[in-house]
Structure 1
Amino acid sequence: MSREAFNRIEQGLKEALAYAQGAREGYVVHEVEVPDPEVPAIRARTGLSQAEFARSIGVKKATLLNWEQGRRKPDGPARVLLALIAKEPGIVRRVLGKG
């Protein structure tokens, strides 16, 4: 590792520690509002079966079924990923090189 890379990593860690200890001045926090995903419509736009879609986003088919039937709601990273797919149905294939 170069000295420059080490210094940048060290500075980042110091900043993270300061932020965690309450130093907020000078830091910008970006918040993005993610809408509730319409999971069946999002999957339909991809043209994938339930099993294919679940595999493509790294969840179990049972999880996808629960989302589609409204028994559960995706949250966290899954919700963000679904929002991206809603805007660009082929994003997973294009970015990760799957097809």
Structure 2
Amino acid sequence: MDQTLFEDLVQSLKEAKAISRGEMAASRRIRIDTPDVKAVREQIGLSQSEFAQLMHVSIKTLQNWEQHRRTPTGPAAALLKIVTTAPDVALKTLHA
């Protein structure tokens, strides 16, 4: 491994450790606000089982999201944002 690349990697790990301890602020943070899952599901007119199938999650996971016991993260949060913004496009694409 190139020495410069290795030093960059070590520096990145040190920064990550400092950020996780609260000693340093992250240079950037990506945050996706998740919409109300139940409202999204009702907006597009699907049952819990249909919507869970569309999202590729279990019904229990969907129920936990709807009852705010859990929060969708990552790709699920992004997909919910897309369904909220352009439900017709999302449904057409996901059903294809």
Q: Same fold (TM over 0.5)?
A: yes
Unaligned runs of 5+ in 1: 1-17, 23-30
Unaligned runs of 5+ in 2: 11-28
Equivalent residue, structure 2, for 1:5: none
Normalising by structure 2, report the TM-score: 0.64
Cα RMSD, aligned residues only: 2.5
- Aligned-partner Cα distance in 2 for 1:57–1:44: 14
Bigger proportion of residues as helix: 2
Equivalent residue, structure 2, for 1:39: 37
Equivalent residue, structure 2, for 1:58: 56
Conserved in 2, the CA contact under 8 Å of 1:54 and 1:61? Answer: yes
Q: CA deviation at 1:32?
A: 5.7
Conserved in 2, the CA contact under 8 Å of 1:39 and 1:82? Answer: yes
- Aligned-partner Cα distance in 1 for 2:69–2:31: 22
Conserved in 1, the CA contact under 8 Å of 2:65 and 2:72? Answer: yes
Residue 48 (str. 1) matches residue 46 (str. 2): yes
- Aligned-partner Cα distance in 2 for 1:84–1:43: 12
Q: CA deviation at 1:88?
A: 1.4
Equivalent residue, structure 2, for 1:67: 65
Q: Alignment length, in residue pairs?
A: 75
- Determine what percentage of the aligned residue pairs are the same residue: 39
